[in-house]
Structure 1
Amino acid sequence: MAQIMNAKDSISGSLAECFITIEDKRYNFMQAINIEAQIEKTKTEVPILGKTGKGNKSTGWKGTGSATFHYNTSIFRELLYRYAKTGEDFYFDMQVTNEDPTSSIGRQTVILKDCNIDGGILTKLDADAEYLDEDFDFTFEDFEIPEKFNLLEGMQA
């Protein structure tokens, strides 16, 4: 009989934590709505004698991400203001932990290192909105995964 995943092992998206460390100050970014980070491998096409097609060799990677937060903090606006006035850029670390107590897989923590936002909203209003949020894109230079999900029962054959 085939093994199947239990519905309880899907992870609730709202049961996460996000902490951001900027210049030795750590913030609980409870106002996060969504965050997504990914790496894109850079590849070089490699010609191979005796083949009609080319091979592909990984040569590096680039880390990018996007985030949406409730529009209720000025932390990034203050840093963007400093950058605009002085040219002094800022980098930060972002730690995201996913843990759903119903699931059997435990928790996963990913720390994105040396994040740098591409820009940000300076001011916003919307008289028709139920709430205000803001988006920003970012890059990151490194990452760690200090806590990893457990394998689901039946995954390992």
Structure 2
Amino acid sequence: MNLKARDTISGQEGTAYIEINGRNEEMFYVKSINATVEKNKVQLRTLGKRGDQNKTVGWSGSGSATIYGVTSRFVEMALDYVKNGRDLFVNIMVTNEDPTSTVGRQSVVLKEVNFDSYPITMLDVDAEALEQEMDFTFDDLDLLEKFQEPTN
């Protein structure tokens, strides 16, 4: 079976939600979000084999998001940490769903997301729209829905 172009997923078709203190809200201000699981490996040597071998011994989750500067939510999170020492861990659900594609949708929840830094304020006379970068880590994830095989 060959993949048809119409079954690829458009990067702008989908949704992102953030769960903060048990309350879900749409992340309408997200321009892009990417998350990766990186395997932690060690090299081992065994008798009878001259080369190094690799063994996975754990993993770490990290990602980044680019947001449009249209929300004060992250300034509030920063203030809560700066003023009260409360570090916030949130869940983020990202759904990819392109109605043109026959593969359906995929929904992934990143759990215990902790932002490395918070955008506070910026000005940029050359910017058509203010964009802020945010890196994060996460401690767990779930696949709620997975893509199906294309039928085109």
The TM-score normalised by the length of structure 1 is 0.93
Q: For 1:103-156, what per-residue CA distance to the aligned partner results, in whole angstroms no more than 9, with x for missing partners?
A: 0100000000000000022110112221101110000000000100002359xx
Matched residue, 1:52: 50
Residue from 93, 108, 111 that aligns with 1:110:
108
Unmatched 5+ residue regions in structure 1? none
- Is the 2:91–2:113 Cα contact (8 Å) retained in structure 1? yes
1:24-64 superposed Cα distances (whole Å, 9 cap, x missing partner): 12110111100000000001111111111111111110000
Runs of 4+ in 1 over 6 A off after TM superposition: none
Match of 2:128 among 127, 130, 142: 130
Match of 1:20 in 2: 18
Q: Distance in 1 between matches of 2:46 and 2:52?
A: 6
Give the whole-Å Cα distance in 2 for the aligned partners of 1:153 and 1:45.
Answer: 42
Residue ranges of structure 2 left out of the alignment (5+ in a row):
none
Task: Tell me, yes or no, if the aligned pair for 2:32 and 2:66 is still in contact at 8 Å.
Answer: yes
Match of 1:96 in 2: 94
Give the structure 2 partner of residue 73 of structure 1. 71
**Seq. identity, %:** 42
